[in-house]
Amino acid sequence: MTSKEVYITREIEEWIKVQTPHYPILSVMGPRRCGKTKLIRRKFPELPYFDLEKEATFKMISKNPDQFVRDHCMNGAVFDEFQYVPQLTEILKTVSDELLFEAEKEGATALSTRFVITGSHNYLFNEKIRETMTGRAAIINLLPFTIQETGAKDPFELMYKGGYPAIYTDHQSPKSFFSSYIQNYLDREVRNVHGIKDLLKFQEFMEICASLVGNFFDYETAGSTLGVSRKTLDEWLMVLYASFIIFFVRPYNKSIPKQMAKKHKIYFYDTGLAAALNARVKSPEHIKLNADLKGRLFENLIFSEIWKKNFIQGEYLPCAYFWNVTGENGYEVDMIMEGISQLKAIEIKSSDTFNPKWFDNMQKHPDLKTADKFVVYTGPTMDVEGGRALNFCDLDQLFLA
* pTM, 2 dp: 0.93
**Residue 4: its pLDDT value, please?**
65
pLDDT digits over 196-220, tens only? Answer: 999 999 999 999 999 999 999 999 9
**Residue 255: its pLDDT value, please?**
57
Residue type, 227: G
pLDDT digits over 317-338, tens only? Answer: 778 999 887 667 778 999 999 8
**Residue 341: its pLDDT value, please?**
81
**Residue 325: its pLDDT value, please?**
75
pLDDT digits over 258-315, tens only? Answer: 555 468 999 999 999 999 999 889 999 999 999 999 999 999 999 999 999 999 998 8
Closest CA to 164 of 342, 8, 293: 8
Q: Which residues, at least 6 apart from 351, have a Cβ–Cβ distance to it below 8 Å?
A: 377, 378, 379
Please give the average per-residue pLDDT across 181-185, as a whole number.
Answer: 96
Query: Euclidean distance between the first and final Cα of the chain, in Å?
Result: 40
**Residue 126: its pLDDT value, please?**
74
Q: What percent of the chain has pLDDT over 90?
A: 80
Say yes or no to pLDDT of 11 above 80: yes
Closest CA to 315 of 15, 14, 11, 8: 15
Burial class (CB in 10 A: 0-12, 13-18, 19+), 249: buried
pLDDT digits over 57-85, tens only? Answer: 999 999 999 999 999 999 999 999 998 99
Contact (CB, 8 A) for 211 and 296: no
Say yes or no to pLDDT of 109 above 50: yes
Q: Cα–Cα distance between 90 and 94 in angstroms, integer?
A: 6
Q: How confident is the model at residue 3 (pLDDT cuts 50, 70, 90)?
A: very low
Q: Cα–Cα distance between 348 and 166 in angstroms, integer?
A: 28
**Residue 216: its pLDDT value, please?**
94
3-state secondary structure the chain: CCCCCCCCCCCCHHHHHHHCCCCCEEEEECCCCCCHHHHHHHHCCCCCEEECCCHHHHHHHHCCHHHHHHHHCCCCEEEECHHHCCCHHHHHHHHHHHHHHHHHHCCCCCCCCCEEEEECCCHHHCHHHHHHHCCCEEEEECCCCCHHHHCCCCHHHHHHHCCCHHHHHCCCCHHHHHHHHHHHHHHHHHHCCCCCCCHHHHHHHHHHHHHCCCEECCHHHHHHHHCCCHHHHHHHHHHHHHCCCEEEECECCCCHHHHHHCCCEEEECCHHHHHHCCCCCCCHHHHHHCHHHHHHHHHHHHHHHHHHHHHHCCCCCCCCEEEEECCCCCEEEEEEEECCCCEEEEEECCCCCCCHHHHHHHHHCHHHCCCEEEEEECCCCEEECCEEEEEHHHHHHHHCC
Contact (CB, 8 A) for 203 and 210: no
Please give the average per-residue pLDDT across 92-117, as a whole number.
Answer: 92
Say yes or no to pLDDT of 95 above 50: yes
Maximal CA-CA distance, the chain: 71
What order do you get walking across the sheet with 387-391 strand by strand? 321-325, 331-338, 343-348, 372-377, 387-391, 382-384
pLDDT digits over 113-154, tens only? Answer: 999 999 998 877 777 788 888 889 999 999 999 999 999 999
**Domain 13-141 classification at class level:** alpha beta
Q: Cα–Cα distance between 18 and 11 in angstroms, integer?
A: 13
Residue 255 vs residues 185, 261, 372: alpha-carbon distances, Å: 37, 10, 21
Q: Where are the domains of the chain?
A: 13-141, 152-301, 321-399
Length of the chain: 401
**Residue 256: its pLDDT value, please?**
54
Summary mean pLDDT of the chain: 92
